[in-house]
Amino acid sequence: MTPTELYYRKTAASSSGGGLGLLIGLYDTLAGDLRRMAEAERGNDLVRRCREANHALLVVGCLEDCVTKSSSGELADQLTAFYASLRRNLIAAQAKRSPEMIEEQMAQVLKVREAWQAIELRSQAPAADPPSPATQQFASAGAESPEPRRLGWTA
C-alpha cells in the first residue's frame, strides 16, 4: 500500500463512522502489517519481518487496550482472548519462520474486521431495519456469520 493509499484509508476511517471507522482502520493496518510480514518471511528479509511484526504487535496492543479500558462483558472477554491468542500465534509464527501461520492470523483478523464492518454498515442503515443475524451473532457470541460476505477489501 502506498503512503497515499494509507493516508486515504486513515482519513476515510476517521471521518466516517466515528469509533467504528477508526477500529476498522486499525484492523486494516494490522492486516497490512501481517501481509507484509508474511512476504518478508518468504523473502528471507528478517529485518523487514521484525519491523512489520513489531508494528503489528503494537496495533494488537492498542486494540486490546481499547477493549480493557472501555468495555466489559462477554464480547470484551472474547476480544481480549482473541488479541492474546493473536499475539501468541504471531510470536510462534516468527519462531517457526512460517509465513503460512502469519497468513492464518491475517485471515482471522480479516474475519473480525468484516464483522465490525457489518456492524458499521448496520449502524448507518435506517433505524427501522432489525439487526442482521450476522451482527447479532458477533455481538452475542463473537462468532462469524454462517454465510461470510466479501466486502471487497484485501490486505
* Domain annotation for the chain: domains and CATH numbers: 3-136 (1.20.120.340)
pTM of the model: 0.70
Residue pair 1/25 in contact (Cβ under 8 Å)? The answer is no
Overall size of the chain counted in residues: 155
- Can you give the pLDDT of all 155 residues of the chain as single tens digits? 555 445 445 555 455 556 888 999 999 999 999 999 999 999 999 999 999 999 999 999 999 988 866 677 888 999 999 999 999 999 999 999 999 999 999 999 999 999 999 988 888 877 555 555 555 545 554 444 444 444 455 55
Sign of CA dihedral 69, 131, 106, 22: negative
* Rounded-to-integer distance, Cα 144 and Cα 62, Å: 23
Q: Which three cell numbers stand for residue 46?
A: 528478517
